[in-house]
Amino acid sequence: MSKHSPRSTIADVARYAGVSKATVSRFLNHRETLLSPEIARRVEAAVAELKYIPSPMAQALKRGRSRLIGLVVADITNPYSVAVLRGAEQACREAGYLVMLFNLGNESERESAGLRALSSYKVEGFILNTMGHDAGAVMETARQGKPIVLVDRQHDGLDVDLVSLDNQHAMTVSAGHLLEAGYRELMLVTEPMGKVSSRIERVQAFNDFVRSHAGEASGSCLETLAEDQAGLIAALRALRARAAARSPSGGAAGVPAVIAGNAVVTLRVVEAIAQLGWRLGQDIGLLGIDDTPWIPYIGPGISAVSQPTGDLGRLAARCLMQRLQGMNGPARKMRLPGTLIVRGSTQFGHMARTL
């Protein structure tokens, strides 16, 4: 090996200086006082000559700290996950930590593998936005004694900090806006609820709203898979038929409106509406949970509830830092408000207001 090789090891340094690896380690860990001046100079010269760079991971593990945070996200292709990741990574970096990411790709069976992989790197804590299907894997991670902060999705039986959108408030304001706009036949379209707490909360909040406004509006929920676009189209046709029957003379009451449970569903609904040849804001209303960069440019612009994704990520990281610094006490449930942005898809002009 060339003495200038950037891949020099601590053993190379020891041989070059004519000392033991333990002596080099003492020098690298700033314990020169345990070495004679002459030996310290030899080790210093060897490190410089070989251009040896100590492994931050190895040094951290020797000190009992990796300065690593494990972050698991359900789907890195979802704009929500990307924005949360960005906020969490920034806050961790500011606190002197690095983030290791594991993407589940919406495959629930990968939860155990992801948590085991991150644990093998001795991460100091976890920020989890998982599928919520493998409670055993998350519980096993919690038993390791490392702090966990959940983002968006709760896990039954796991008493740890949670950071999420205030789903009930967001759904109530979304449905309330549609009612104020004149829509009377509403439908919430969501990905399958399963054990995903955020989806369950949104469906419950929507049903609560419909029950409390039974004399003014009707509502239904549709759980739909990505591969069942034909089923979504059929459900939209039936929704529009119910709206037309409610108000034969036409007007806003004869036009149905859809709330899409997230940005992925919003795009699927837009595709279905295009296949039906309908016009957003005229033949059907549409409001989505999650405001993405492309939403303002589809048709007349799609109304949406914008989640404070960056803030959610940063708050999750700060909560984790507090736990790492020794904060005890009961688990905290922190729910942040979204922002309702009204666009042409619900027949209003552009404006925004905080929920």
Provide the domain count of the chain: 3
Report yes or no on 61 lying in a domain: no
Whether 41 and 174 map to the same domain: the answer is no
Distances (CA, A) of 74 to 103, 128, 196: 6, 9, 11
What's the pLDDT at 132?
Answer: 62
Whether 297 and 211 map to the same domain: the answer is yes
Q: Whole-number mean pLDDT of the chain?
A: 86
Q: How far apart are CA 260 and CA 257, in angstroms?
A: 10
Whether 260 and 348 map to the same domain: the answer is yes
With a cut of 50, say whether residue 305 has pLDDT above it. Answer: yes
Whether 89 and 22 map to the same domain: the answer is no
Whether 183 and 298 map to the same domain: the answer is yes
Q: How far apart are CA 344 and CA 222, in angstroms?
A: 24
What's the pLDDT at 348?
Answer: 36
Of the pLDDT bands very low, low, confident and very high (cuts 50, 70, 90), residue 74 is: confident
Of the pLDDT bands very low, low, confident and very high (cuts 50, 70, 90), residue 55 is: low
Whether 271 and 343 map to the same domain: the answer is yes
What's the pLDDT at 4?
Answer: 43
With a cut of 60, say whether residue 347 has pLDDT above it. Answer: yes
Q: Which helix (H) or strand (E) holds 322?
A: helix 309-324
The single residue listed with the structure tokens 């999750």 is 316
Whether 125 and 187 map to the same domain: the answer is no
Whether 183 and 296 map to the same domain: the answer is yes
The CATH number assigned to the domain holding 89 equals 3.40.50.2300
Report yes or no on 59 lying in a domain: no
With a cut of 60, say whether residue 352 has pLDDT above it. Answer: no
Whether 344 and 220 map to the same domain: the answer is yes
What's the pLDDT at 178?
Answer: 96
Range of the domain at 50: 10-54
Question: How many other C-beta atoms are found inside a 10 Å radius of the C-beta of residue 240?
Answer: 19
Whether 118 and 147 map to the same domain: the answer is yes
Report yes or no on 86 lying in a domain: yes
Q: Which residue has the higher pLDDT, 325 or 106?
A: 325
